[in-house]
Amino acid sequence: MKRQIVIGSRGSRLALAQTAQVASYIEAADPEIIVEIKKIETTGDKRLDVTLDKIGGKGLFVKELDKALMEGEIHLAVHSLKDMPMEESDEIPVVAYSKREDPRDVLVLPRGKQEGKYGGRIGCSSFRRRLQAERLFPGADFVPVRGNILTRLEKLDRGEFDALILAAAGLKRAGLSHRISRYFSVEEILPAAGQGILAVQGRKGQDVSFLAGYGRPASEAAALAERAFVRRLDGGCTSPVAAYAETVEGRLHLKGLFYNGTGSYFIGEKTGRMEQAEELGILLAEEMERKYTR
């Protein structure tokens, strides 16, 4: 009989598409494995009436999946890394980091609207995006928006917003790249830590040899550096801290955003060896904190 692996996933179109990518890889890598995807509704998906910072932050998107992992109900869980809390559990660690999809943020306009001068109401789900986008669109009114990608697009198309700022990776993985009106460079809007990377979470000591070859060292190094930077600055849903790292000629180059709490933010950079990824993130955070704290 084939061995069954159960992967837990949030129930949105995007989450299921991401989990299906991992499931397809496992089944192709080992024909003796059959994968079942188990949909698990999280508190973050249920509570759409308030912003995340008021109800507990990003942990609300993983709490139920964490519980299912700990209790053996599922073998793995798949997350967008940017949606995971910065503190990782030793009991249910990340066991693989995917190849990174496009890390950039994008502007999405209502159906039929052409690229032009943007203003009015822009739906923006994070302080990080809003703080940086205010420099690009000084006359816009930035309004919080919750819900999965399809829900947000529906609100946009029925006139609740004049534009949305979303992650390119999510739109592309959900088959909605045609909705993208403009890409923001990482110089215009620095992404959230881990944006574009999928994290596969398992249990401590679990045999995950069937994932051999799925994880990417460059993605892991970027993830560790970015998350260390944000964690050192205690960044979360209420903070606009951001970080983006990429491997350039075998070296890891990290950019970080530091917010001084007075409405201003600063971008810093640091380069080091891939194997020193976490240390690189911490050092950049400490340097920026010393330099820009008032």
Mark whether 83 is an active-site residue: yes
Q: Which of 293, 227, 209 is nearest to 258 (CA)?
A: 293
Residue 83 carries which side chain, given as an amino acid letter? D
**Cα(46)–Cα(56) distance, rounded to whole angstroms?**
13
Is-contact 161 121, C-beta < 8 A?
yes
In one letter, which amino acid is 94? V
Dist CA 65 CA 214 (whole Å): 21
Q: Which candidate in 66, 83, 105, 162 is catalytic?
A: 83
Hey, which residues does 248 pair with through a beta bridge? Answer: 251
Query: How far is Cα 283 from Cα 66, in angstroms, rounded to an integer?
Result: 30
- The residues, any chain, with a CB within 8 Å of residue 176's CB and separated by 6 or more, are 149, 153
25 contacts: CB under 8 Å, gap ≥ 6? 211, 214
Nearest residue to 105 (alpha-carbon basis) of 6, 186, 224: 186
Q: Which of 17, 245, 275, 241 minimizes the C-alpha distance to 129?
A: 241
Q: Cβ(192)–Cβ(125) under 8 Å?
A: no
Closest CA to 229 of 272, 165, 170, 198: 272
**Which residues carry out catalysis?**
83
